[in-house]
A and B are shown apart, each in its own frame.
Chain A
Amino acid sequence: MTPNSGPKGMQMTIRQMKRDAASILRGRRCQAAGRPEDLSMSYWRQSLHELVRDPLALTGLAILSVLITVAILAPFLAPYDPDDIQVERRMLWPCWDHPLGTDKFGRDILSRMIFGARLSLLMPSIIVITTLTVGTTVGLVSGFKGGLVDSLLMRLVDIKSSFPGLLLTLAIIGMLGPGILNAVIAMSITGWTGYARIIRGMTLQLREMEFVDAARCLGASDTYVIFRHILPNVISPVVLLATLNMGGAILSMAGLGFLGLGAQPPAAEWGSMLSDNRGFMFYAPYLVVVPGMGIMITVLAFNLLGDGLRDAMDPKSGRLAEEMRG
């Protein structure tokens, strides 16, 4: 029996209960944020208002919009083919024809940067989406089911936490062999545990709420309760975490590319462009300065946006990020 087949009055009661719970939650959040509870707006809209008033967050958002547009429109924006080797124009300093110069094969750096934005943004996004999906699923199941499932999954998370930083990622790449796909797989395998831990904690709190009990009384299945009642309540911190982690994912992927374990030449990716051109650094510093600036500006934009979102949504600043690390 799904809740939809329940008596009409009961449906109304549940809706009321959810509304009550939502308003209590909102009240708490606003109180924690130290701002008056404005009943004319939903929590999300209020957060959005807060965000729009933050100039740094808006700057981050603007930079990201430009970068994403550039990545999507790369074939139309790039003045040259990024992989086109022209020996006669190699190692040109920035000039009118090549605003950012050319590399040892005469490939145009600006075009490679523009096309590089695709890989450099896409791979971290895939990693964040994968780890987020797996982490959220594990967290929801673990928190909701409890018992043996919970203990098993959480021990798995604990064991993962006993490997320092990138060690397991590096070891997995070592076994699978260097390459862009393997790097993404390795990062995805190791990255989900932080999300799982946080989502589990929130699920534990939510499943004790009245509207969950009510839905169960109506005979809703576990899956229905998880997707309809619990998931919507954990979405906002998940979005926040994803933004905060994008910067880290970009840095890690660029680092792997730099070490020759991620994107392989001749693929245009900022990290591997840096390591490709390292040998010519002293003769032509722009070859190293430009990709580095690209990475830095992108990560900075994500950090600015993430900080703004956190101030707007999770005002006990850094609590989530802290938990994620621990």
Chain B
Amino acid sequence: MMRGYILRRLAIMVPVLLCGSMITFGLVFLSPGDIGEMMADAEASAMGMYATQEMIDAINEHYGLNDPVHVQYLKWLKNALHGDLGRSFSSHRPVLREFTDHLVPTLVLNLAGIMIALCISIPLGVISAVKKNTIIDHLCRIYVLLEISMPTFWLALMLMWFFAFKYDLFPLYGYGWGWKDNLWHLVLPAVAMGTSMTGSLMRLTRTSMLETLGQEYIVTARAKGLGEFIVISKHALRNALNPVVTMVGLFFGHILTGSVIIETIFSWPGNGSLFLASINARDYPMIMGFTLIFMALFVIVTLITDISYTLLDPRIEYR
């Protein structure tokens, strides 16, 4: 049953990814200007020259830019499937290499951020639900409201100003050398990233927990004479966490867009800041390549999230 479900989901992924790749490829046609000319300029500037008409013609010929659109698309797709997403206009390195080189900092930052978010929002969300309508609950809800209204970049700048400048506790920005230094540099960006997720996570945990606490099996557990802590942590929390898992999956899928701002502010050498730099430089192969890669990753993460439900809640059956 489960295997059938996964296979079917994988089969659906194919047309979705195909359409996504078409959209990604189609984005180029939004761009003003001639792509062949831009590539020629990029090649020429690497050699310290200006592009001539002959170079433009040669590039058009070489990359098949005179071919009909569908031929170009199929060629691009074929190359992409072989792991060749072209070369960056600005660094002249393969797009895939650029991506893998900057992947580790992004992953580390996002994982640390998600961990911090979970450590803050799950306990507070649970307390807020258990102590409903007390002063703690009200404080938590005010925090949520303020947090979801706060721009992430502003929070990051304020943290930077307070902890790195005023009290000089952490480095201002950068990545550091060696793992100890890395960790030291990681603290502020990760806290900024984590805090920006706590609002929605706390709200979700609270709602989900309130719903679960109203269930009959909670009454049963209490009637059996179980301690309140066991009832909440073992019977309620485990069942309440399902929607939270979905949201964490979503956050993880949003890895790139979520960290563009934080990475840029803290000069963190990840994929997010690289993507922004590519946008500002109009580096088309990079923009297309990164869009395609992150779309594919997002689809895969979504699938993994869906599958992980069964592990958490055996009542869910897939058809």
| B150–A296 touching, CB < 8 Å | yes
How many residues of A sit at the interface, in one of the four size bands? 35 or more
Q: Knowing A164-B254, A164-B294, A259-B264 are in contact, say whether A304-B157 is a contact too (CB < 8 A).
A: no
A254 in contact (CB, < 8 A): yes
Q: Which residues of A contact B257 (CB under 8 A)?
A: 164-167, 170
Within 8 A of A (CB), among B188-210: 207
B73 in contact (CB, < 8 A): no
Within 8 A of B (CB), among A273-289: 274-275, 278, 281-282, 285, 288-289
Q: Knowing A165-B257, A177-B32, A299-B149 are in contact, say whether A159-B20 is a contact too (CB < 8 A).
A: yes
Q: Which residues of B contact A278 (CB under 8 A)?
A: 157
Q: How far is the CA of A159 from the CA of B275 in the complex (A)?
A: 22
Find the A residue at minimum CB distance from B162: A285
A313 in contact (CB, < 8 A): no
Q: Knowing A174-B278, A247-B149, A292-B151 are in contact, say whether A162-B254 is a contact too (CB < 8 A).
A: no
| A303–B152 touching, CB < 8 Å | no
Shortest CB–CB separation between residue B41 and chain A, in angstroms? Answer: 16
Q: Knowing A165-B257, A178-B280, A300-B149 are in contact, say whether A159-B16 is a contact too (CB < 8 A).
A: yes
Q: Knowing A258-B261, A281-B157, A300-B145 are in contact, say whether A251-B256 is a contact too (CB < 8 A).
A: no
Q: Knowing A167-B295, A170-B260, A292-B157 are in contact, say whether A158-B27 is a contact too (CB < 8 A).
A: no
Q: How far is the CA of A184 from the CA of B213 in the complex (A)?
A: 44
| B152–A288 touching, CB < 8 Å | no
Q: Which residues of A contact B154 (CB under 8 A)?
A: 274, 288, 292, 295-296
Find the B residue at minimum CB distance from A325: B250
Interface code B269-297, partner A: CB below 8 Å = 1, 0 otherwise? 00000011011101010011001001100
Find the B residue at minimum CB distance from A176: B30
Shortest CB–CB separation between residue A268 and chain B, in angstroms? Answer: 17
A173 in contact (CB, < 8 A): yes
A121 in contact (CB, < 8 A): no
Shortest CB–CB separation between residue A223 and chain B, in angstroms? Answer: 30
**How many of chain B's residues have a CB under 8 angstroms from any CB in A?**
50
Shortest CB–CB separation between residue B125 and chain A, in angstroms? Answer: 14
Q: How far is the CA of A310 from the CA of B288 in the complex (A)?
A: 39
Q: How far is the CA of A173 from the CA of B281 in the complex (A)?
A: 12
Q: Which residues of B contact A281 (CB under 8 A)?
A: 157, 160-161, 165
CB within 8 Å of A: which residues of B? 16-17, 19-20, 23-24, 27-28, 30-32, 145-146, 148-154, 157-158, 160-161, 165, 207, 253-258, 260-261, 264, 275-276, 278-280, 282, 284, 287-288, 291, 294-295, 298-299, 302
CB within 8 Å of B: which residues of A? 155, 158-159, 162-168, 170-178, 247, 251, 254-255, 258-261, 271, 274-275, 278, 281-282, 285, 288-289, 292, 295-297, 299-300, 303-304, 317-318
A and B contact pairs by CB, cutoff 8 A, 23 listed = A158-B16, A159-B16, A163-B291, A164-B255, A164-B257, A164-B294, A164-B295, A164-B298, A167-B256, A167-B298, A171-B288, A172-B27, A174-B27, A255-B152, A258-B151, A259-B260, A281-B161, A281-B165, A292-B151, A295-B151, A295-B154, A299-B148, A304-B145
